[in-house]
Amino acid sequence: MYIKRFSPDKKRICVWNLMKDTILIRQRPENYAAKRYFCDASKAELKQVLEEMAKLYPNAVPIIETADVSKILDLICNDYEALYDEINAQKLIIFLHDLAYRSEKYRDQLDNIREQTLMHLEKMGIAAEQVEGMDKTGKDEQLYQLVGIAPLLKTSKMLVENYNWYIGTVQGTMKLVISDNPAQGIRLGFNDICIPLNGDKAIIFRIIDPKAPILSKDTPVGNEIKLTERSVFVYNAVQMSYANRFMFGDKASLTFLKRISDRHGGYASMYGEKPVLHTL
C-alpha cells in the first residue's frame, strides 16, 4: 500500500485531516486507502491492463506475477539505476497512471463539470440527450481511465517522450509528504512532477523543454537531484494544493505545513472552499 511508505513502522501513519484542520497520529492506513477507487490498484485491475498491453506488445510487457509495485519502489530507492530498467519503468507507469486517476477528487471534478454543463444546457433549452457524452457520469469516465488501454498508453507516451526522469533525495530535515490525490501532476502534465517514494526520496519528472518553468531550482548531478529544504517545501505545498481531504507523512513536516496554512487563514481560505465529505 503506497501510503504505508510514509509511516515509520509501515503500520501507522500521521494524517492531517483538512476537513477538521487537525493532525492525527498513529492512524491505520487502511482507513484512508481502502475506498473502492482510492489510492491503490487492485491486482485484478493490474492483471487486466497487463493482459491488454500484452496483446499489443507481446515482447515488451511484463507478466503480472512480477508486477509487485512495492518491490519496484523499494528497488528504485536502493538502486537508482533500477528506475531506467525498461520492465521496471513499464510497471511504474501502470502504477502512476492508476494513482493519477484513482482519486476521489478527480471523480468529484468530473461530476462538478458535468453538473455545471447540464445546468447551462438547460438554460439554453438544449436537452442533455442531444450532446454526446452527457450520459456519462464521473464514475463512468474514471473507470474508463483506470481500465482502458488508450488512456494508459497516452500516459506512457507522455512520461517517456516528454520528461527526464530523476531520483530526488532529501538533504534537510523536512520530509516529503503526500495528499489523497498525489499524482494530479501526472494527470495534468505539469512541467515539474514530484512523486515521493517515501519521506526521503522521490521520482522527479522534469519536462525536457529547457525553457519551461519548473518548481525546483536544484540542479541534477547525473540521475540524482539533491533536494534542498526549499524544494521539499515547494513540492509539499503542491501536494497540499492537490489534496481533497487528507495529507499524509511526517508529523513535523505536516505540522509545519499546517502552520503556514493557518497564517494564510487556513486551508479553506487558501484554496477557495472547505473540503466536502462525500458519500462513496
pLDDT digits (tens, 9 = 90+) for 145-178: 887 788 999 999 999 999 999 999 999 999 999 9
Q: Which amino acid is at 26?
A: R
DSSP β-ladder status, 163-170 and 224-227 = parallel
Is residue 277 one of the residues assigned to a domain?
no
The string of pLDDT tens digits covering residues 166-222 is 999 999 999 999 999 999 999 999 999 999 999 999 999 999 999 999 999 999 999
Q: For the chain, what is the domain count?
A: 1
What pLDDT does residue 52 have? 65
Residue 280 resides in a domain: no
What average pLDDT score do residues 66-89 get? 88
The larger pLDDT score, comparing residue 48 to residue 124, is at 124
- Residue 279, domain member (yes or no): no
pLDDT band at 38 (very low <50, low <70, confident <90, very high): very low
Asked if pLDDT for residue 36 goes beyond 50, the answer is no
> Which of 50, 52, 157, 141 has its CA nearest to residue 103?
141
Does residue 112 sit within a domain?
yes
pLDDT (0 to 100) of residue 174: 97
Q: In the block, which residue shows the cell 501510503?
A: 3
Quote the mean pLDDT of the chain: 85
Q: Is 276 inside any structural domain?
A: no
278 has a pLDDT exceeding 50:
no
224 DSSP β-pair partners: 167, 221
Nearest-CA neighbor of 24 among 34, 32, 14, 33?
Answer: 14
Question: Looking at the domain assignment, is residue 29 inside a domain?
Answer: yes
Q: Which one is predicted more confidently, 217 or 104?
A: 217
- What is the span of the domain harbouring residue 203? 2-271
Residue 193 lies in a domain: yes
pLDDT at 37: 44
Q: Is residue 153 part of a domain?
A: yes
pTM of the model: 0.84
